Chain A
Amino acid sequence: MMLARRARDWLPALGVFVAGIGLWQGFVKGLHVQRFLLPAPSAIWTAFSSNQNQLWHEGWFTFQEALGGFAIGCTAGILFAIIVARWDLLGSALMPYAIAANAIPIIAFAPITNAWFDPLTKTSKMVIAAVLCFFPVFVNVVRGLRSVKPEQIELMRSYAVGELTVFRLVRVPTALPFLFTALRVASVLAMIGSIVAEYYGGSLDALGANIEQDASLFQFEKAWAEIIIASLLGIGFYLAVVALERLATRWQPREEIVGA
């Protein structure tokens, strides 16, 4: 049963994958597309397997930045959200500004964090990733904590329990789906944010700096292999959050959409 459902869910995606790789290979080989435009999957695979150790090393370096930024940004977002949601007036007053601040292209500040922190350290990238993660988490958790149904609070009042118990038993569970929606977005943002920040200068242990260097040295196959590592790590991170969400919100009817 379970297995059949899994298969039904993933077979189409697998089919698209195989067909996509096949088409790509055929397209590149058949039309003699130049390698700086688009290398063939087979060539990328060769580059991938001959540089495996280095690639995973770079990936792990960048992933640590992403993970650190994610942890800092999400924790800060949750804490601020709790404070803001608790003092309702403060929250209603500040929310519009938080939302507008979210419209700032934060990545533009990467050169500044590079100047603040040593660009070779992970910290300079973590900060960008953290700021990127902060806003969606903050906004969503505030929304979640506030979308509690009044009658659910009323029932708790009838049991004469304290505010902390209401928070634990009602507000937190209500906010969890909102939180996870934001965490999914944040996981992708953290990964992309770290890599893009590395572009503005950083350690050569990192993916972003290497992609840039390889592309400028005409090592396109290796650059693509790095792009694919980055993407795999991003997908892995995202799926880990989804798995955690499934665990933490097991009560929910299972959703069809995998997206944010």
Chain B
Amino acid sequence: MASVAVERPLAEDAPVKRARRRGLLLLAVLVLLWGFWEGFRALGIHYGWQRPFTVDATSMPHIHDMIWALFQRPNPEAPLLIVTLLKAAAFTGREAALGFAMGATGGFAIGALLAHSRMLQRGLLPYVVASQTIPILAIAPMVVIWLASVQVTPWVSVAVIAAYLTFFPVVIATIRGLQAADHRAVELMRSYAANRWTVLWKLRFPMALPFLFSALRISATASIVGAIIGEQPSSIAGGLGGAILNFAQYYSFQPQNLWATNIIAAALGIAFFLVVVAAEKLVVRRAPEHVA
């Protein structure tokens, strides 16, 4: 009993310490970035740098001005910028989330299909790869029109575009992951007279999970990118893509607004990424139990 009492505080201490160290490091990184930005800006303006780009108050607004802009009204009738942007982020986030869900499911289905047959892989995989070289933005307007003709609301069309960017990493990871199971482990399962489905779910799928999650991390980002660039040709003004286009037009007067929008977009991307990382922590830690 005594030893337990001694060990407890130690065991609790370590994570707290680590969290504190991480927090400090994050702070240090942010301060460093801030210092770099402001330092570069000050030097550039002082010496009149023209290269690589002209450094002035328009090209590099103060960081505190960007933050400050969030709590201003872009024009007298409008709400605070941060209110507008958070609404836009929620809108874009919804498109991205739906796109992510569709892309991940579809990607897994295609990957599972292709993993089963060399022939299908040879026939279709080159096109899966080629699909990623098509500039999605270019076909986005057509996608919106196609889907509108079957009564799909515009934001769902954008989700479809996001899904298009999302599915590719998942396909590749699914094929890799499902084929990653040690053939001896597969043979062992066979010796228990397990059928194809049992092998798939009890062995191949858990083995594929780490592969899948690293793909999902990439897809999380891709879904946000897809949603943002998909909004532009779809003439959807309610999301971050619309906000970016809008503020880009006023960049020479109010550069801080576009920067503020991009900060929110960056935060949304990182938030999506972190959700996937958290999900991975939850699922993969439990995976060994499923395997057993």
**B118:A256 contact, CB within 8 angstroms:** yes
For window 168-194 of B, CB contacts with A under 8 Å fall at: 168-169, 171-172, 175-176
**A108:B133 contact, CB within 8 angstroms:** no
For window 185-218 of A, CB contacts with B under 8 Å fall at: 188, 191-192, 195-196, 199-200, 207-208, 211-212, 215
Chain B 256-284 interface 0/1 with A at a Cβ cutoff of 8 Å (1 = within): 00110110011011101110000000000
For window 103-151 of B, CB contacts with A under 8 Å fall at: 118-130, 132-139, 141-142, 145-146, 149
Residues of B within 8 A of A94 (CB): 29
For window 203-259 of A, CB contacts with B under 8 Å fall at: 207-208, 211-212, 215, 223, 226-227, 230-231, 233-235, 238, 256-259
**B135:A208 contact, CB within 8 angstroms:** yes
Residues of B within 8 A of A102 (CB): 221, 273
**B125:A238 contact, CB within 8 angstroms:** no
**A223:B138 contact, CB within 8 angstroms:** yes
Residues of B within 8 A of A234 (CB): 130, 132-134
**A230:B258 contact, CB within 8 angstroms:** no
- Check B58 for interface membership: any CB of A closer than 8 A: yes
Residues of A within 8 A of B91 (CB): none
- Check A12 for interface membership: any CB of B closer than 8 A: yes
- Check B244 for interface membership: any CB of A closer than 8 A: yes
Among B146, B240, B273, residue most surrounded by chain A Cβ atoms (within 10 Å): B273
Residues of A within 8 A of B221 (CB): 102-105
Residues of A within 8 A of B123 (CB): 12-13, 15-16
**A104:B118 contact, CB within 8 angstroms:** no
> Given A37-B145, A105-B225, A111 and B138 touching (CB < 8 A)?
no
Residues of A within 8 A of B240 (CB): 108
Query: How many interface residues does A have (CB within 8 Å)?
Result: 57
User: Of A20, A103, A104, A112, which is within 8 A of B258 by CB?
Assistant: A112
Residues of B within 8 A of A112 (CB): 251, 258-259, 262
What is the bound-complex CA distance between A236 and B204, given in angstroms? 34
> How many Å from the CB of B166 to the closest CB on chain A?
13
- Check A87 for interface membership: any CB of B closer than 8 A: no
- Check B224 for interface membership: any CB of A closer than 8 A: yes
User: Of B135, B145, B251, B252, which is within 8 A of A192 by CB?
Assistant: B135
**A238:B225 contact, CB within 8 angstroms:** no
Residues of B within 8 A of A259 (CB): 125, 128-129, 168, 171-172, 175
> How many Å from the CB of A22 to the closest CB on chain B?
15
- Tally of contacts, chain A with chain B, CB under 8 A: 168
Query: How many interface residues does B have (CB within 8 Å)?
Result: 69
**B126:A258 contact, CB within 8 angstroms:** yes
**B59:A231 contact, CB within 8 angstroms:** no
- Check B248 for interface membership: any CB of A closer than 8 A: yes
> How many Å from the CB of A246 to the closest CB on chain B?
16
- Check B234 for interface membership: any CB of A closer than 8 A: no
> How many Å from the CB of A45 to the closest CB on chain B?
17
**B142:A200 contact, CB within 8 angstroms:** no
Residues of A within 8 A of B261 (CB): 108
**B138:A116 contact, CB within 8 angstroms:** no
**B133:A188 contact, CB within 8 angstroms:** yes
Chain B 220-240 interface 0/1 with A at a Cβ cutoff of 8 Å (1 = within): 110011001100110000001
Residues of A within 8 A of B (CB): 8-13, 15-16, 20, 36-38, 93-94, 97, 100, 102-109, 111-112, 114-117, 123, 188, 191-192, 195-196, 199-200, 207-208, 211-212, 215, 223, 226-227, 230-231, 233-235, 238, 256-260
* 3 A-B pairs closest in CB distance: A234-B133, A12-B123, A103-B273
Q: List 18 A-B contacts (CB under 8 A).
A: A37-B149, A38-B142, A100-B270, A103-B217, A104-B265, A105-B221, A105-B224, A106-B225, A107-B225, A108-B240, A111-B244, A116-B52, A200-B248, A208-B138, A223-B138, A231-B134, A238-B129, A259-B128
